[in-house]
Amino acid sequence: MGTLSIVGIGPGASQHLTPAALAAIGEAELIVGYTTYIKLVIDLIRGKEIVKTGMTEEIGRARAAVERARAGGNVAIISSGDAGVYGMCGLVFQVLEELGWKRGDSPTLRIVPGMTALNSCASLVGAPLGHDFCSISLSDLLTPWPVIAKRLEAAASSDFVIGLYNPASGRRTRQIVEAHDIIARHRPGTTPVALVKSAYRKLQDVVQTDLDHFLEYEIGMLTTVLVGSSQTFMYEGYMVTPRGYTNKYTWDGEAHSGQKPGRSLMLDDEGAPVRAVDVEAP
């Protein structure tokens, strides 16, 4: 019975690789991955058999990993971040489905989670993901742009913090401009924005700016763009999105008058949280 480990290696720095990921890579006979990601773990895989291919060759990598594992091999296929988030995991399942694989057949699957780009980038700029957020890839190589634009509109109008993956490349430059225009219809120009390139890698670069000005900076495939919500603020150079505790509680930990711990947040007639200052004295 073969084993196929689908491994998220995190941002690429060894200190952010989980023990489970290290174990799966260490046990594997064959490592399959995109050339750039292979380079990130090269010190861990010396002496092993390696299959590495370039961008747009994902199907070939998935098939190579599945076929070797079906034949009884111990294989690890790697993705940066988490393999289940814009990574190889979904494609591997599609290959398995095409081949008619069933639970109990070879190979045995192990899905090993990793730190996503959104997590690693957020950690470098503060706490931008403290409340509801979403991620949207701007690459229209596999998803039609009208679908992406519709998702941007929904996320912006719903006041999510938005993480933009694959924002631009040498041939794709208009998408990030159109994304800006869509978001700007719903948020002020002072909304905090962070641009994080190559988080925890040698060429790491972090820019803190705002919605009005972020297009003035270099943005490429290795950049993740974090756009704040209406609640996001800057504090001592950090980007912070509050969870909303002060809507219900005082800094002493007591519930505001009109609010009850463990119960739904109470709102006034204008839709604002009821707080002590809103309650008339008897």
Among 124, 90, 91, smallest CA distance to 11 is for 124
Regions of the chain with pLDDT less than 50: 278-282
pLDDT tens digits, 150-188: 999 999 999 999 999 999 998 899 999 999 999 999 999
Among 92, 96, 56, 98, smallest CA distance to 77 is for 92
- Same CATH topology for 3-115 and 118-240: the answer is no
Cut 0.75: pTM above it: yes
Report cis status (omega within 30 of 0) of the bond before 107. yes
- DSSP tag of 216: G
3-state secondary structure of 178: helix
Residue 173's φ and ψ, nearest 5 degrees, are -120, -20
Q: Calculate ∠ Cα 240-164-174, nearest 5°.
A: 130
Query: Domain residues of the chain, as ranges?
Result: 3-115, 118-240, 244-282
CATH fold of the domain at 3-115 = Cobalt-precorrin-4 Transmethylase; domain 1 (3.40.1010)
Q: Give the CATH class of 118-240.
A: alpha beta
Residue 89's φ and ψ, nearest 5 degrees, are -60, -50
Q: What is the pLDDT of residue 279?
A: 43
Q: Name residue, tokens 């919500």.
A: 229
Q: What is the pLDDT of residue 280?
A: 44
What DSSP string runs through 127-173? Answer: ETTSS-EEEEE---SSS-HHHHHHHHHHHHHTT-EEEEES---SS--
Distance CA 199, CA 40 (A): 13
Q: What is the pLDDT of residue 277?
A: 52
